[in-house]
Amino acid sequence: MQNEPKNNSRMADGKINTSFFAKPTYINCSGRLFDLSKPAVAAILNLTPDSFYDGGKYTNEKQIIETINIFYESGAAIIDVGAYSSRPGAEHISEENEWLRLDKVLDIIRREVPQLIISVDTFRAEIARKAKEYYDVSIINDISGGEMDATMFETIAKLNLAYVLMHMQGTPQTMQLNPVYQSVTDEVIRYFHKKVFRLRQNGVNDIILDPGFGFGKNVEHNYELLDNLSKFRIFELPLMAGFSRKSMIQKVLKTTAAQSLNGTTVLNTVALQQGANILRVHDVKEAVEAIELVNMLKKK
């Protein structure tokens, strides 16, 4: 592929060419070609005590084994494991504590459900290195896009990992204080253009884009991004969308995270219609059903 993103997904009138969505999209996951031409589900496993929805939920091995088996049996292809809370204003923890949370759980997943593709949600290159070296994880999901660890891109290239490039304005501690954009869609596209170019220069071949819903965006920013999600297909890279039970649902519906499953499914459906390849969710069964129904609709 060229270093610069291509622009052949637009027709002469400037509209998105929807036939492009049918093209196969593959990422290399530890030597296994993973086809994302049919959208996939990434199940969220948070190991933090203070995550906004499931913080402190997974406290013993039995719970973890039961949960990851439910994820797999419900249709998840990826499990995204995080040990650093990225909720607004979250406490900053050390690299040592992050790895202590991850180490045992990655071993359980690799042992109990080896079929699952493991993604680790971290912005630290050393965590990425250990996760690959000890547990052969396939994907690193970096909320900071390489901004919080200058060695991340070269580490991803050296380890031949797939990389989720996410956009975030600020840090988890500051991102929701007062996010401001002239045009959130245009600014995120420009950010991806710059970052994808740098990743290619470093030799990273497998890149997934995540606009970062809820990360340094207010409610209006989030819905503008969702409404324009198809524009990100210009990069010809897989797209990941993560709305699961977030405040962008709660604030509109005047509800809570625990009551936001229906809203999550609605937004997942919209994202699929806009061309999302991966849904990152807490509730796997419902996301898989949304994929099946949208796929049936696209056959008509």
The whole-number pLDDT of residue 48 equals 81
Note the pLDDT of residue 299: 78
Residue pair 142/163 in contact by the 8 Å Cβ criterion = yes
- H helical segments located in the chain: 61-74, 95-112, 125-135, 152-159, 184-202, 219-227, 247-253, 261-273, 284-299
* Residue pair 46/57 in contact by the 8 Å Cβ criterion: yes
User: What pLDDT, on a 0 to 100 scale, did the predictor assign at position 2?
Assistant: 38
Is residue 260 pLDDT above 70, yes or no? yes
Q: pLDDT class for 152, splitting at 50, 70, 90? A: very high
Helix (H, G, I), strand (E, B) or coil at 82: strand
> pTM score, two decimals?
0.87
The CATH topology of domain 18-299 is: TIM Barrel (3.20.20)
Residues 6+ apart with CB under 8 A from 131: 102, 106, 118, 120, 122, 137, 140
In the chain, pLDDT over 70 holds for what percent of residues? 85
Is residue 280 flagged as an active site residue? yes
Separation of alpha carbons 262 and 53, rounded Å: 15
Hey, how many other C-beta atoms are within 10 angstroms of the C-beta on 85?
Answer: 20
Tell me which of 262 and 2 has the higher pLDDT. Answer: 262
Q: How far is CA 290 from CA 25, 116, 231, 269, 294, in A?
A: 20, 20, 22, 6, 6
Instruction: Please count the other Cβ atoms lying within 10 Å of the Cβ belonging to residue 38.
Output: 12
Residues 76-134: tens digit of each pLDDT: 999 999 999 876 666 788 999 999 999 999 999 999 999 999 999 999 999 999 999 99
Task: Identify the bridge partners of residue 43 per DSSP, sorted by sequence position.
Answer: 79, 281
Strands 26-29 and 32-35: antiparallel
Of the candidates 6, 198, 246, 299, the residue annotated as catalytic is: 246
Give yes or no for a contact between 41 and 291, defined as CB atoms under 8 angstroms apart: yes
Q: What residue type is assigned to position 131 of the chain?
A: A
Catalytic pick from 200, 280, 298, 299? 280
